[in-house]
Amino acid sequence: MITHDIDNYNETFFRLWLHNIDGVYNNTYRILINHFKTAANVYNADFRELNNVLCGSDIALTIYNSKALEYTERLLQKLSSENISILHPLDAEYPDKLLHISAPPEILYIKGKLPKSINSSKNNIAIIGSRNPDSYGREYAKSFSYTLAKQGINIISGLAKGIDSYGHQGALAAGGCTIAVLGCGINNIYPLQNYKLYEEIPEKGAIISEYAPNTPPNAYQFPERNRIISALSDGILVVEAKKKSGSLITCNHALAQGKPIYAIPGRIGDALSEGTNALIYDGALCTTCPEDIIECLKGEVTDREELYDKNTAALFSPDEIKIISLLSLDDTYVDTLINRSGLGVTKTINTLLTLREKGVIKETAKGYYIRNIMYKSI
């Protein structure tokens, strides 16, 4: 058997070693740590003791034959070069909130830095919802996230496509902190379309994962990671969700952890709103503006007028007000605006261009416009 002077390595090193042995999944890891107390003791255990603790499992022999530490040394160097740090439950920086749930993550891989306010009971909101939202969900996810982040609230989500992505984007646009919890290895960008977010988030917050580096995005891992999203949060905001949405798994974790559920109501008969409307029916807090959440978190009534960006105070011409009044979060084609406004082709198009420059409306596709709810309603 290969032996090493373990005095040259700390507990974090041995936890990394154990966590990256093929076949050592979370349950096996917990059994070993609970019995041996430290990963260093696991490393020094003889085969008979490992075999007894793991009840004759084949993994006992795998662990016993994995005493070479060169791979762990290379992995630690690689993680360090990519600015990825490691935390385990014995570390002072390990989030307190995760210590009080069933099955706390045995290791957290972190790209970026977790804010100290993560341990606050009034400072963290998870924003979750559909992977394929419509413009209603996209705009409200980003708007709520933006306003909450402006108030210093950390936005937590899962870096998935859809509502997760817009939640992260809103926080970044506000210059706030956002935390992404992955359902795969920390060095896997999934989905690939979120590459830009993966690069930007560590500058203002952190990307975290409990899975060993290079772990692919297996389906069962995403429900597992949802317990971390809910644990770190002080409330869950569901923006759009179908009746059998994966978002409801996060809500179940949150309810078990005593966290409030906020839901943005949707249109009756809309499949993307069945889940959120059902949550409200079952007792979730019906949420129509970010200030609803801020008041619950802070325990105080806010001056809602002051929460809006000062740019929203700009005055608009009668033509601009007419166009704005014809727009909603449903795409409206330019020909429809020309006909309904009565302003004519040239004036309508010029007014649309001016409103786009002011940031009051958005062009979602060629010739299709919606209102930008990041700005105060008129």
Which CA distances in Å does 99 have to 11, 38, 209, 238, 295? Answer: 18, 17, 16, 25, 27
State the angle between helix axes of 135-150 and 290-298 in degrees (0 to 180), rounded to the nearest 10. 40
Tokens of 204: 């203002």
Domain boundary among 256, 276, 307: 307
**Domain range enclosing 342:** 310-371
Does some domain include residue 89?
no
Tokens of 132: 């394929």
Does some domain include residue 365?
yes
Tokens of 356: 């786009």
Q: What is the CATH number of the domain that holds 316?
A: 1.10.10.10
**Together in a domain, 254 and 361:** no
Does some domain include residue 272?
yes
**Together in a domain, 219 and 317:** no
| pTM confidence score | 0.81
The CA-based angle 224-215-254, given to 5 degrees, is 15
Does some domain include residue 93?
no
Are the CB atoms for 180 and 112 separated by under 8 Å?
Answer: no
**Together in a domain, 69 and 157:** no
Per-residue pLDDT of the chain (378 residues; tens, 9 = 90+): 444 555 668 999 999 999 999 999 888 999 999 999 999 999 999 999 999 999 988 999 999 999 999 999 999 999 999 999 999 999 999 999 999 888 899 999 999 999 999 998 789 999 999 999 999 999 999 999 999 999 999 999 999 999 999 999 999 999 999 999 999 999 999 999 999 999 999 999 999 999 999 999 999 999 999 999 999 999 999 999 998 888 888 988 888 788 899 999 988 888 999 999 989 988 889 999 999 999 888 765 444 444 444 444 456 888 988 898 888 767 899 999 999 999 999 999 999 999 998 888 889 889 999 887 665 444
Does some domain include residue 91?
no
| pLDDT score recorded for residue 375 | 57
Domain boundary among 60, 81, 102: 81
Domain boundary among 265, 291, 307: 307
**Together in a domain, 220 and 170:** yes
**Together in a domain, 2 and 24:** yes
**Together in a domain, 142 and 14:** no
Number of domains in the chain: 3
Q: Which of 192, 195, 170, 165 is nearest to 180 (CA)?
A: 165
| pLDDT score recorded for residue 7 | 62
Hey, is 368 helix, strand or coil? strand
Q: What is the CATH number of the domain that holds 228?
A: 3.40.50.450
The full DSSP string for 81-127 is HTTEEEE-TTSTTS-HHHHTSSS--S-EEEEE---GGGG-SSSEEEE
**Together in a domain, 24 and 52:** yes
Tokens of 363: 């062009």
Does some domain include residue 273?
yes
**Together in a domain, 283 and 335:** no
Amino acid at 28: T
The CA-based angle 18-20-24, given to 5 degrees, is 65
Q: What is the CATH number of the domain that holds 39?
A: 1.10.150
Is the four-CA dihedral 305, 308, 309, 313 of positive or negative sign?
negative
Q: Which of 256, 280, 249, 252 is nearest to 266 (CA)?
A: 280
**Together in a domain, 160 and 19:** no
Task: Give the number of residues written for the chain.
Answer: 378
Side by side, the strands of the sheet bearing 206-209 are: 84-87, 108-112, 206-209, 178-181, 154-157, 124-128, 236-238, 261-263, 285-286
**Together in a domain, 194 and 325:** no
| Whole-angstrom distance, CA of residue 276 vs CA of residue 264 | 7
**Together in a domain, 186 and 234:** yes
**Together in a domain, 190 and 253:** yes
Does some domain include residue 97?
no
